[in-house]
Each structure stands twice: as structure tokens, then as C-alpha cells.
């Protein structure tokens, strides 16, 4: 069982001064997490999504974290792998450099960059994203094992060249893809890569997705593997705020979740900009009202209203409370089949101090509880 933190660099105040402060705070939280016993630090990649994510250059953020830590795994999750975002050779070079300098601690996840805000910025055709993510994963698996590399397909042509440096981990670092629905979990299993399940659906949804993942592992032929070294790993998101005052933790956590939901749905074109106040009433009631608004807009756009489209707004039953609540919720994720708990506390309305206290509570109470059980 692994315990990790994932960072979006989310913020409700997007001024340059606060933006710089939040980015530095994320590094401080990541470094503290290693001291508190966490196993991995993950950073997303997003572009032009004000408020929702300012983590546009995660390779730089993770380099800062790697330089100030010695043990914690460095999770590049996810690199946007369509070619317009990142050329596969540059992905290979950057990741190998980070792996070499960190002493072999890097893991990589692939993502599509699904918002029109992002794909439009880089001229990426959304119809090509699935194919290009898969092709990049295949390129990475080869490029890190060959002294010289070349690649020729209808989508990409790379002449024969030596690609340096080589990663410290052989034959290559563990590979994953970001998963938010059943199809991508199934795809992860078929490709032989780990599933980073990033939804807010909770243990019941995690159990259902784990079942799909296991069924895929049991029936796959290996024909679609991106590498001859499969990574059968299933990580589940765990939104969490942990304080001695569990009522206050619940208030802060639900407010953070509401900000998360409002900001991403804004950039998906189905919502107004997020409310920026840190404390503006009953966030659970506000999220329930928002479900109706988002559903109506989806109907107007002829987009099916599925649970995946509104799960961010569902009444929270996450790890918001004291450390006992966090243990109870994590036990449910473990029972649902999670190999890794991806803790998310860095949400736009959550202060740095609350983030640090949450990490401390996990390090002093939650993680030791599971380690004592041999997990």
C-alpha cells in the first residue's frame, strides 16, 4: 500500500504574488510529506485553466521536490501526451533526466488534456488524443531501452538518433494513465499500465472500477501492451482535510471540493467561474444546487448527464474530519481494491496551514495505522 499526495496548484486568488506563494507552498508541503512518511508526490499538467490548476510545468515543480527529498517517489501524473502538447522525444528526455538526478524515483502517467481550453491553445485535435497517448507510451517504453531510436507512423516520424540521457530505472520507469471513467480503466489494463483513478466518486465507485480493472487483467492477451513489463497498479483519489476539529475539517473540505468542482466545470464549458470566497455558506447545499445547473447546461449542449459528469458535486463522504474519520474512509478505499491512496488536500480555498496540518495528521496517525497492519 502506498500513500501519496497529488498537487494541482489550485488557487482562488490568481494574482501573481499569490500564485508564486501557492507554488512555493506546494513544494513545502511535498517536502514535509516525505518527512511524515508519504511514499509519493504526484503533480498534474494543465494549461490555461485559471483557478483550477496552475501546474503548467510540473517537470520544474517535481525537480524542486526531488532536489529537496531523498526517498519519496516522484510522480509525473500526468504528462499530457498528445503530440501538440509535448513531443514524445522531449517527454523521454525530461523524464529520464529527472529519473537520473533523483536516483531512480520517477513514475509517469499519461493524460489527454480533455478541455477545449487546453487543446485549443496547442492546436490539439481531441479526436487524436487517445491514439497519441497510447503511441507516446509505446515510444517511451522503447526509447529508454535502445541506444538509438527511430519511429515511423502516419502520426509521427522520428529519424534514427541517440536519445540521452538514459533513465536510472531499467528497463524503464513505471507507467500509468489517468482514468476518470470505465473505458479508461479498461484501457489501462489492456495496455499493461497502472490506473490513476482521479474521480470523486468514493469507495463504491472505486470498487466498481477495480472490478473492471481486474476483469481486464484476467482476460487480456497482452497484444496491446505498450511494454513487455506490465505495471498492474491501481491508485484511487482520496480528497482529505484532517484536523482535530472534525466539523471544521468537514467545512473546509467541502468548500474545497466545491471550488474544485466549480472551477473545472467552468473550463469544461458547463458552469460559471468559481466562487472565490473561502467561507460563503453551506457548501454541501450549494453543490446540490449546482448539480441541477450543470445538468441543465449539459442537456442544452446535448451532452448525456452521467454520474461521471456530476460526481464532483455529490454530497461528500470523503476523508474530511479527524484522523479517525480519515482511517475509516481509507479502510473503505483499501477494501475497494486501492493499491495507492492519492491524497488531495491542495484545493483552491484550502490554506497552506490546513494543508500542512492534514499532512501531519496523516503522518502521525493514519499512515502508521496501516503500516502496523503490514500494509
Structure confidence at residue 296 (pLDDT): 58
| Domains and their CATH numbers in the chain | 2-245+319-371 (3.20.20.30)
Structure confidence at residue 32 (pLDDT): 98
Structure confidence at residue 310 (pLDDT): 63
Tell me which DSSP letter residue 267 carries.
Answer: H
How far apart CA 375 and CA 269 sit, in angstroms, is: 41
Structure confidence at residue 278 (pLDDT): 86
Structure confidence at residue 201 (pLDDT): 87
C-alpha cell at 230: 506490465
Structure confidence at residue 353 (pLDDT): 98
Structure confidence at residue 325 (pLDDT): 97
Note the pTM of the prediction, 2 decimals.
0.94
What count of Cα atoms within 13 Å lies in the side-chain half-sphere of residue 237? 25
Structure confidence at residue 315 (pLDDT): 61
Per-residue pLDDT of the chain (375 residues; tens, 9 = 90+): 999 999 999 999 999 999 999 999 999 999 999 999 999 999 999 999 999 999 999 999 999 999 999 999 999 989 999 999 999 999 999 999 999 999 999 999 999 998 999 999 999 999 999 999 999 999 999 999 999 999 999 999 999 999 999 999 999 999 999 998 899 999 999 999 999 999 888 999 999 999 999 999 999 999 999 999 999 999 999 999 999 999 999 999 999 999 998 998 899 877 788 989 888 778 877 777 666 666 555 555 455 555 555 677 676 789 999 999 999 999 999 999 999 999 999 999 999 999 999 999 999 999 999 999 999
Structure confidence at residue 270 (pLDDT): 73
How far apart CA 368 and CA 373 sit, in angstroms, is: 9
- Pinpoint the alpha helices (H) of the chain: 16-35, 58-67, 88-102, 116-122, 129-143, 182-191, 203-219, 246-267, 283-300, 307-310, 323-336, 352-361, 367-371
Cβ within 8 Å of residue 179, ≥6 positions away:
185, 187, 188, 195, 196, 197, 198, 209
What b-and-e string marks burial along 264-299, b requiring 16 or more CB atoms within 10 Å of the CB? bbbbbebbeebbbeeeeeebbebbeebbeebbebbe
Structure confidence at residue 104 (pLDDT): 98
Crossing angle between the packed helical segments 203-219 and 182-191, to the nearest 10 degrees? 40
C-alpha cell at 342: 492519492
How far apart CA 58 and CA 170 sit, in angstroms, is: 23
Structure confidence at residue 178 (pLDDT): 96
Complete DSSP assignment for 289-331: HHHHHHHHHHHHTT----HHHHGGGSPP-SEEESHHHHHHHHH
Contact in structure between 368 and 37 (CB atoms under 8 Å): yes
Structure confidence at residue 295 (pLDDT): 59
The per-residue pLDDT for range 25-65, each reduced to its tens digit, is: 999 999 999 999 999 999 999 999 999 999 999 999 999 99
- Pinpoint the alpha helices (H) of 75-193: 88-102, 116-122, 129-143, 182-191
Judging by beta carbons within 10 Å of its beta carbon (0-12, 13-18, 19+), is residue 164 exposed, middle or buried?
exposed
Amino acid at each position: 500500500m502506498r500513500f501519496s499526495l497529488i498537487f494541482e496548484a489550485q488557487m482562488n486568488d490568481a494574482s501573481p504574488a499569490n500564485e508564486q506563494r501557492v507554488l512555493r507552498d506546494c513544494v513545502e508541503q511535498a517536502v514535509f510529506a516525505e518527512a511524515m512518511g508519504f511514499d509519493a508526490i504526484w503533480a498534474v499538467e494543465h494549461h490555461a485553466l485559471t483557478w483550477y490548476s496552475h501546474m503548467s510545468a510540473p517537470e520544474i515543480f517535481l525537480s524542486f521536490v526531488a532536489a529537496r527529498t531523498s526517498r519519496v517517489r516522484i510522480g509525473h501524473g500526468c504528462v499530457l501526451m498528445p503530440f501538440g502538447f509535448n513531443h514524445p522525444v522531449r517527454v523521454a528526455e525530461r523524464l529520464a533526466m529527472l529519473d537520473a538526478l533523483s536516483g531512480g524515483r520517477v513514475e509517469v502517467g499519461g493524460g489527454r488534456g480533455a478541455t477545449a481550453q487546453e487543446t485549443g491553445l496547442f492546436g490539439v485535435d481531441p479526436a487524436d488524443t487517445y491514439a497519441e497517448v497510447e503511441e507516446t507510451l509505446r515510444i517511451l517504453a522503447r526509447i529508454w531501452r535502445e541506444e538509438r531510436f527511430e519511429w515511423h507512423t502516419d502520426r509521427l516520424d522520428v529519424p534514427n538518433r541517440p536519445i540521452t540521457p538514459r533513465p536510472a530505472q531499467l528497463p524503464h520507469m513505471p507507467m500509468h494513465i489517468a482514468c476518470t471513467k470505465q473505458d479508461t480503466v479498461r484501457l489501462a489494463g489492456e495496455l499493461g499500465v497502472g490506473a490513476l483513478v482521479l474521480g470523486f466518486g468514493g469507495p463504491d465507485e472505486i470498487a466498481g472500477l477495480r472490478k473492471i480493472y481486474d476483469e481486464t487483467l484476467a482476460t487480456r492477451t497482452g497484444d496491446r501492451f505498450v511494454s513487455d513489463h506490465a505495471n498492474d497498479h491501481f491508485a484511487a483519489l482520496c480528497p482529505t482535510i484532517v484536523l482535530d476539529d472534525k466539523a471544521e475539517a468537514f467545512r473546509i473540505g467541502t468548500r474545497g471540493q466545491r471550488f474544485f468542482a466549480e472551477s473545472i466545470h467552468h473550463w469544461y464549458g458547463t458552469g460559471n467561474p468559481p466562487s472565490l470566497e473561502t467561507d460563503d455558506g453551506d457548501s454541501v447545499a450549494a453543490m446540490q444546487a449546482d448539480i441541477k445547473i450543470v445538468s441543465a447546461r449539459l442537456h442544452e449542449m446535448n451532452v448525456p448527464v452521467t454520474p461521471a459528469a456530476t460526481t464532483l458535486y455529490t454530497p461528500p463522504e470523503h476523508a474530511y474530519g479527524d484522523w479517525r474519520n480519515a482511517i475509516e474512509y481509507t479502510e473503505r478505499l483499501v477494501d475497494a481494491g486501492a493499491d495507492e491512496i492519492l491524497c488531495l488536500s491542495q484545493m483552491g480555498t484550502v490554506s497552506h496551514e490546513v494543508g500542512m496540518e492534514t499532512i501531519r495528521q496523516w503522518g502521525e496517525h493514519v499512515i502508521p495505522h496501516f503500516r502496523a497492519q503490514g500494509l
